[in-house]
Amino acid sequence: MAARGLLAAIIAFVVIAAPAEATIRKGSIDDQPQDTNTSGHDILQAVGVSDDKGAAAIAIRVGGTPATSALVSGALGTRAQNGTCGAPFAVFTGMVGNENALFARDTDTRTTFPARLVVEGTTVTIAAQDAARLNLPFDCAYASTRNVNNVLYDETAEFGLEVEAPPAATPTATPSPTPTAVPPAPVPAPTTATAPPVQVPKEAKLTVSLTGTPTTIKRNRAMKLKLKVANDGSKRSSKVSVSVGKARGLSVSKVKAFKALDPAKSKTVTLKVTLGKKAKAETTLKVTVKAGKLKQTSSVLLKIGKAKKITPGKTVPAPEAKKSPIVGTYWWRTVNHVDWAWDNRALYFVDGGAVYSGFPAGGLPTTCTTPVQSPEDEFDTREGCLAYSFDEKTGAVTIGDKTGTFANGKLTIDGQGYYATQIPPAGTRFSFFEHKHVDFNGMCGMYLGCSVTQKFLSMSPDGKFILSRSTTTTMGDPGMGPFTAIGSYPPDQHGTYEVLAGGKIQLSYADGTVKVETFAVDTNHETDVPDPVGEGVLIGEDNFYPDPFPEID
């Protein structure tokens, strides 16, 4: 798109609803092509537009498809006497990957307001309309691109915005009827980049189990089985009824309906079961339990015959129940924001009915009884146990009011995909150097300050680790390997590691401190193959990864 075309497009995008008498200021600047090695961050042109009715926007055109990791920042300001572009100003920031955008004023850079981000081809536009905060005579602008680690990729020089000449009046042949006035759109209330918490409605949840099957089953001889019905939900159930599936030669005592179950309550009833003369050698007993719209079933296989003899001193292992493919899987995803960095979230499917929401401390749990610590948060950040259901035939997964699928090794919940992890066997060793984890808080763009925290993790095959806030290049000789320089690190930043069973790692620091953290290996996000070197590892809720965005000189 030519410079004139981009300028025209953004003006139309911003001021299409502006009154005819609005004063429009606009300007653009061309930037040197290929001055960064990533075309999706390489600015070719930037445009700024504002009017005195509170509409403003900044747009950039880049050399290729805008990178999903790109943070687009731009500022509209006012020329000072020394020629610099400064206050009063407004800074616009947006994330291409999730289209989150906002703006802030120089009067309070910690308070942000909503903006709109639009990607069209190679052009990214961030616009807002706020008569209370943007009706200023901005006459200069600036734009930049960064990555999620706040590494600057490209930036423009400051450029001016000029008042656009008003169009000449067009005479009309006949007077037109006065149009009905359209009320202006309401000014959005201040907001933040975080998503609102999801309120999960209270609901009952039935679980049903059959136990007590004898080891020896004979025809025409009654046996007693135990049917347990539990309400694992958060709301009182409806009245409970029990029915039994029909099968040839099978007779089962009738179970009367019983009262509703309160949350966390259960009831156990006895079923008298007989396999008659016409029963097959193997008969499936299927029991269906209903409570209002809730329905659950449980089945057992009854096999006529004598139990096998047990040799003295030996035990016969119980048949191993088929394990659901989703049980024992550990998943994570990350949410990026424009005013702070990683928001990591996780789900660990502990057993057939409970999933741990968030990152469990000190390893993966074997049972799930921890109540959620933050019920008002998103469903995968509540730090506790939630009930779930999984239909292996259809792949349908339900967690509270969120639905999704688990199929072909992929997990999607509420439209969001999750990354698979691998739990390494005890004693596993690794060999990678300076995997990185970066956090930032604040608006990392022009005028606005932010704080950046970086961690670097190295692990060697001989069981040594370094977990530091410094790279080896800051420790002395840039060519020195991390473990050659290990003595240069403080004793609370290096030591030995041991991978334990159950998704745990023990970090024994040189100062005597010992920490046990939850640990998993990230997988290749296309092949789902564990890849600690190419993708990284997770310690607690921090993901450590090889730096995909080396800093540019």
Instruction: Report the predicted TM-score, pTM, of the whole model to 2 decimal places.
Output: 0.51
Residue by residue, pLDDT tens for the chain (553 residues) are 344 455 455 555 544 445 556 788 889 999 888 888 778 888 999 999 988 888 889 999 998 888 877 788 888 889 888 778 888 888 888 888 777 788 888 887 667 788 888 888 888 999 888 888 888 889 999 888 887 666 778 888 889 888 876 555 555 555 555 555 545 545 444 444 443 444 445 778 888 888 888 888 889 999 998 998 888 777 889 999 999 988 899 999 998 998 998 887 889 999 999 999 888 888 888 889 999 888 888 888 888 886 555 444 454 455 555 689 999 999 999 876 555 556 789 999 999 999 999 999 999 999 998 899 988 888 999 999 999 999 999 999 999 889 999 999 999 999 999 999 999 999 999 999 889 887 766 655 545 556 667 888 999 999 999 998 765 555 544 444 566 566 678 899 999 999 999 999 999 999 999 999 999 999 987 788 899 998 999 999 999 988 754 443 3
Longest dimension (CA), the chain: 112
CA–CA dist 445, 103 (Å, integer): 11
Q: So what's the pLDDT on residue 470? A: 64
Q: What is the dihedral of CA 327, 532, 502, 464, to 10 degrees?
A: 180
Predicted local confidence at residue 168, as pLDDT: 52
Give the model's pLDDT for residue 553.
34
Among candidate residues 129, 125, 137, the one with its CA nearest the CA of residue 24: 137
pLDDT recorded at residue 131: 83
Provide the 8-state DSSP code for 218: -
CA dist., res. 79 & res. 257, Å (int): 80
Long-range contacts of 165-169 (CB under 8 A, 24+ apart): 166/21
191 vs 86, 98, 216, 330, 536, CA distance in Å?
Answer: 25, 17, 67, 33, 34
Residue 9: CB atoms within 10 Å:
17
Residue 272: the pLDDT is 92
Q: Cα separation of 298 and 126, whole Å? A: 55
| Residue 214, preceding peptide bond in cis (omega within 30° of 0) | no
Kindly list the structural domains of the chain, giving each domain's residue range(s) and its CATH number in brackets, ordered by start. Answer: 3-163 (no CATH), 206-303 (2.60.40.10), 330-422 (no CATH), 432-544 (no CATH)
d(CA 13, CA 3): 15
Query: What's the distance, CA 218 to chain centroid?
Result: 55
DSSP state letters, 76-141: EEEE-TTS-EEEEEEEEEEETTT--EEEEETTEEEEEEE-EEEEETTEEEEEEE-TTTS-S---EE
